[in-house]
A and B are shown apart, each in its own frame.
Chain A
Amino acid sequence: MKVRRCRGAGFALHWGPAFRLGVAALVQITSPAFKQNAARALADAGLQKALGKAKGAFLQRRAEAVARLPEFEALRDIGRDIKNHTLANLDAYLETYAANVERAGGTVHWCSTAEEARAAVLGICQRAGARTVTKGKSMISEEIAVNDHLEAHGITPVETDLGEYIIQLRREHPSHIIAPAFHLNREDWEADFRRMHTDLDPNRVFAERRDILTEARTKLRERFLAADVGITGANFLIAETGSSVIVTNEGNGDLTQTLPRVHIALASIEKVVPTLEDATSLLRLLARSATGQDFSVYTTFSTGARRPADLDGPEEYHVVLIDNGRSNMIGSEFQDMLRCIRCAACMNHCPVYGATGGHAYGWVYPGPMGSVLTPSLVGVDKAAHLPNASTFCGKCESVCPVKIPLPKLMRHWREREFERHLTPSAVRSNLALWAWFAKRPGMYRAATRAAVGALRLIARGRGALRSLPLAGGWTEGRDLPVPEGGTFMSRYAKQQRGR
């Protein structure tokens, strides 16, 4: 299942005023079609093969990394507290951060919306006379859809993270926030490389995965050397020093930000932390939660532009600092979501994500964190299905390195959805019916007694029902266990009498 890009800014118009934040006007949001997307994903054999292979590896590696660090649980509390402290003083830390960037010779571009951020990036690239731009992996870049904007103005963006590179060749979107090509198999890579790298021998052999990697390395080297501007994201911003931090394993982010004449770091406002020590504690959590490494290969702190005697490094350093709806979350019941360090542990452990993959979620951020963040950023009217795409098993919260109560936040969205009459009418009327009985205990008990009796009658001694009149949709995918005895209340009363 592909999430397609829609070109042309006019597309955003019919979303109307509800689309208050002007988010991602160029990325089509297919979240309203989550159910259809999910059904298609479940029937996609290639996708199911890829998901099956990938998931176990992530879980096992994380579990091993956590087991190697006895302090991991204590660090989760620390991570949560650092982020909470920062969010409670976010204005002050952002001001200090920006002042320190400028002191080190960098420029900060404050952007309220995706549109402003796109314009800022384009402006910097145009002033630099850029023709090609290399890019390190960045989710905020997907969120603001900057690639399409650059292309529309004659500038070629080249994704350099291996996973992002193939996604760009396929003109898709990432299906996972740290493993963008989570949904692809080796055969997909080979086919796409043959299709796109037409200057190479069409009969070349990809005997091992390494051959795919080597071809990508060679192709991208040319791009790194030719680029006029390098764009990266930022895992953290450090107020104390005015630094932006990127974390990679490939080294593509470092080539991106070191070789071109201009470096642009894209970062959303909640990435700021006070000090190097704060960033360090969060870094101890990040790689372990994400890939199950003790530390990523390259953790790089960038502070300003090339210094007078330096022999390399960019001459210009810009930070495009993006709000795009986040400041509205401050002080709301969704503020906790701004602690997220984008490690992807929640989606790796999510049974729904594990079954559907990331594209079904229909926008940039999939899995449990996406189910909370997407409605916050694009509006619950566009993403109402997502907070419902959960079994509420609680696994996501139990692995989240900054202890975000994801199930609770999804429940908040369900409440808002209900208040705003976005819940389907059948669900609403059934809930109303249930509520009517629930307020009348006598009637409720009589009704449940009748229901238990009816189910036992239909079951005629079987332990479970394979189908149920009026609930065919529900029993299509599972059996309904038949109640064994009476209702809870009747059993409870019996037990009390027996005492």
Chain B
Amino acid sequence: MSKDAILGAIRRGLKRGPLPADQRAMIDGRLASHPRHLIPARSRLPRPEQVALFVANVGKEFGTVARVADADAVPTAIAAYLAQQNLAPRFVLAPHPDLAALPWASAPMLEFEARRAQPDDLVAVQHGYAAIAETGTLMLPSGPERPTTLNILAETEIVVLRASRIVGAYEEAWDLLRDGRTGGFMPRNVMLVTGPSRSADIEQTLELGAHGPRRLHVILIDDDPAALPAP
């Protein structure tokens, strides 16, 4: 069998047989403890600056951010953004309980369905699981409440994110996902999204809106008193 042939050839190259038990235990220990390496200092900041770094980095990557004081302000913020972009007030919504609980009646012009995205959806409103200040990156793990198609099919993607879910480095976001669970904790799909889709394949010149969204807009709920900008 090819599996044995490949493993055998590797072991011949390494001039040994299968790893002896003690060395195998060391490998398993490293996998279980998954030690962190050097984490760049850029995201080791007090909370307000960390959130500000996230906002600045989303902007640097051609995304936009609107900060709102609480979750109740989200529907009107969505309506305002769509109007400003000259887009129809219609979208597919992630079937996430937090989003279902928003006061949609405050923006009665909005029409939406909570489901996976379809190819003719022009706008998607996704639930942000967490975000990484280091590079302005959103973490979007798949699940029934956060379908992957909402991340990629529509031309305009809006992500609703709580400031309390912004961390400094990727490693901290992995730990949120692990959250005490070991092995088998990974959702089917975890997307780290940094800005709208783009391509530089034509003469190495950047153009936004390749196959994925052309616009990425984050509605940031300031639910973390410690992370508010200094008055």
Residue ranges of A at the interface with B (Cβ–Cβ < 8 Å): 50, 53-54, 57-58, 69-71, 74-75, 78, 82, 88-96, 98, 100, 103-104, 110-112, 116, 160-163, 166, 179-182, 184-186, 189, 209-210, 212-214, 217, 220-221, 224-225, 239-243, 249-252, 254-255, 258-259, 269, 274-278, 280-281, 283-284, 291, 293-307, 309-313, 321, 323, 327-332, 335
CB atoms of B6 and A327 under 8 A apart: yes
Report A-chain residues with C-beta under 8 Å of the C-beta of B61.
297
Q: Report the nearest B residue to A217, measured CB to CB.
A: B211
CB atoms of A323 and B6 under 8 A apart: yes
CB atoms of A298 and B186 under 8 A apart: no
Within 8 A of A (CB), among B189-221: 189-205, 207, 209-213
CB atoms of A180 and B201 under 8 A apart: yes
Count, A-B residue pairs, CB within 8 A: 269
Given contacts A92-B24, A110-B6, A327-B10, contact A309 B204 (CB under 8 A): no
Report A-chain residues with C-beta under 8 Å of the C-beta of B126.
none
Given contacts A209-B207, A217-B209, A255-B212, 14 further A-B pairs with CB under 8 A are A71-B40, A75-B37, A78-B37, A89-B27, A94-B7, A179-B201, A184-B203, A249-B199, A277-B35, A277-B171, A301-B189, A310-B188, A323-B6, A329-B13
* Most chain A CB atoms below 10 A, which of B14, B36, B61: B14
Given contacts A217-B210, A280-B171, A298-B212, contact A306 B6 (CB under 8 A): no
Q: Across the A-B interface, give the 8 residue pairs with the lowest CB-CB distance, nearest first.
A: A251-B212, A330-B13, A331-B13, A250-B210, A327-B9, A163-B201, A110-B3, A275-B34
Kindly specify which of B70-78, B82-90, B103-111, B135-143 makes contact with the partner chain.
Answer: B135-143
11 A-B residue pairings within 8 Å (CB atoms): A78-B38, A110-B1, A186-B203, A294-B57, A298-B193, A301-B186, A302-B189, A303-B186, A303-B187, A304-B188, A313-B188
CB atoms of A294 and B171 under 8 A apart: no
- Whether B183 is near chain A, meaning CB under 8 Å from some CB there, is yes
Contact check: which of B27, B147, B187 meets A311 at CB < 8 Å? B147
- Whether B151 is near chain A, meaning CB under 8 Å from some CB there, is yes
- Whether B115 is near chain A, meaning CB under 8 Å from some CB there, is yes
Contact check: which of A57, A166, A180, A312 meets B147 at CB < 8 Å? A312
* Most chain A CB atoms below 10 A, which of B42, B144, B207: B207
Cα distance A96–B212 in the bound complex, in angstroms: 33
Q: Report the nearest B residue to A305, measured CB to CB.
A: B188
CB atoms of A250 and B149 under 8 A apart: no
Say whether chain B's binding surface is mostly helix, strand, loop, or mixed.
loop
- Whether B148 is near chain A, meaning CB under 8 Å from some CB there, is yes
B17 to chain A, nearest CB (A): 9
Contact flags B160-203 to A (C-beta < 8 A → 1, else 0): 00000000001100100000000111111111111111111111
Q: Report the nearest A residue to B197, measured CB to CB.
A: A251
CB atoms of B19 and A92 under 8 A apart: yes
CB atoms of A277 and B2 under 8 A apart: no
B99 to chain A, nearest CB (A): 14
Residue ranges of B at the interface with A (Cβ–Cβ < 8 Å): 1-3, 5-7, 9-15, 18-19, 23-24, 27, 30-31, 34-38, 40-42, 57, 61, 95, 115-117, 119, 134-135, 137, 142-144, 147-149, 151-153, 170-171, 174, 183-205, 207, 209-213
Given contacts A213-B207, A280-B170, A298-B212, contact A311 B9 (CB under 8 A): no
CB atoms of B212 and A162 under 8 A apart: no
Cα distance A484–B206 in the bound complex, in angstroms: 51
CB atoms of A185 and B203 under 8 A apart: yes
Contact check: which of A70, A116, A243, A283 meets B2 at CB < 8 Å? A116
Cα distance A93–B26 in the bound complex, in angstroms: 12
CB atoms of A240 and B34 under 8 A apart: yes
Cα distance A128–B1 in the bound complex, in angstroms: 24
Contact check: which of B14, B42, B204 meets A53 at CB < 8 Å? B204
B200 to chain A, nearest CB (A): 7
Report B-chain residues with C-beta under 8 Å of the C-beta of A88.
14
Report B-chain residues with C-beta under 8 Å of the C-beta of A304.
188
Cα distance A212–B200 in the bound complex, in angstroms: 12
Cα distance A304–B190 in the bound complex, in angstroms: 12
A241 to chain B, nearest CB (A): 4
B46 to chain A, nearest CB (A): 20
CB atoms of B7 and A277 under 8 A apart: no
Cα distance A239–B152 in the bound complex, in angstroms: 27
Cα distance A110–B3 in the bound complex, in angstroms: 5
Report A-chain residues with C-beta under 8 Å of the C-beta of B170.
280, 283
B131 to chain A, nearest CB (A): 12
Report B-chain residues with C-beta under 8 Å of the C-beta of A275.
30-31, 34-35
Contact check: which of A70, A91, A276, A331 meets B19 at CB < 8 Å? A91
Contact check: which of B30, B186, B189, B205 meets A209 at CB < 8 Å? B205
B40 to chain A, nearest CB (A): 5
Report A-chain residues with C-beta under 8 Å of the C-beta of B119.
221, 225
Cα distance A374–B27 in the bound complex, in angstroms: 32
Cα distance A148–B230 in the bound complex, in angstroms: 61
Given contacts A213-B199, A252-B210, contact A269 B137 (CB under 8 A): no
Q: Report the nearest A residue to B63, measured CB to CB.
A: A297
Cα distance A103–B188 in the bound complex, in angstroms: 12
CB atoms of A332 and B144 under 8 A apart: no
Contact check: which of A213, A280, A310 meets B210 at CB < 8 Å? A213
Contact check: which of A57, A70, A258, A301 meets B149 at CB < 8 Å? A258
CB atoms of B205 and A255 under 8 A apart: no
A76 to chain B, nearest CB (A): 11
CB atoms of B116 and A251 under 8 A apart: no
CB atoms of A280 and B174 under 8 A apart: yes
Cα distance A446–B170 in the bound complex, in angstroms: 66
Given contacts A110-B1, A269-B6, A277-B35, contact A189 B202 (CB under 8 A): yes
Report B-chain residues with C-beta under 8 Å of the C-beta of A330.
9-10, 13-14
Cα distance A197–B105 in the bound complex, in angstroms: 46
Contact check: which of A166, A281, A293, A321 meets B38 at CB < 8 Å? A281
